[in-house]
Amino acid sequence: MILGEFFHVNLKIYYENWCRSQQTQIAFDLKRDYRPTEDFRNSVTSINRSMESILKITDRFPDNFNNIDISNIAQHSYHAEFTDSYLLELSNAKGWIIVSNDGDLLNHPNRKQLLVSLN
């Protein structure tokens, strides 16, 4: 899930930069307009290389999804996206510290562990 978020956020940054570089008022669509471009392929290649580097310095683990309190995540989805609430629930269960600049996580009412802001 963390790599999925990493991919999504970075692709959005690349896409927004591409849109600005087009110097037009046309409203673009990521899948229709950006995906068929060479810029998109270069962006995905760059993101994948970064993820490979991340995987070299991290440990993979089972998230024990069957033990996570989904009702607690659903209850707190008014404060953040499902994925953010899920990661927070997981970090609470594991005692992890999250490093993020995501205001939803930093201000989440269910946050038990320290979150470090990148701002």
pLDDT tens digits, 53-97: 999 998 888 888 888 888 888 887 788 888 888 888 888 888 888
Long-range contacts of 30-36 (CB under 8 A, 24+ apart): none
Residue carrying the six token digits 């701002």: 119
Contact 88, 110 (CB under 8 A): yes
What count of Cα atoms within 13 Å lies in the side-chain half-sphere of residue 52? 6
pLDDT tens digits, 7-21: 988 999 999 999 999
**Tell me, what's the pLDDT at 52?**
96
Long-range contacts of 103-109 (CB under 8 A, 24+ apart): 104/79, 104/80, 105/80, 107/79, 108/76, 108/79, 108/80, 108/84, 109/76, 109/79
pTM over 0.85: no
**Tell me, what's the pLDDT at 3?**
85
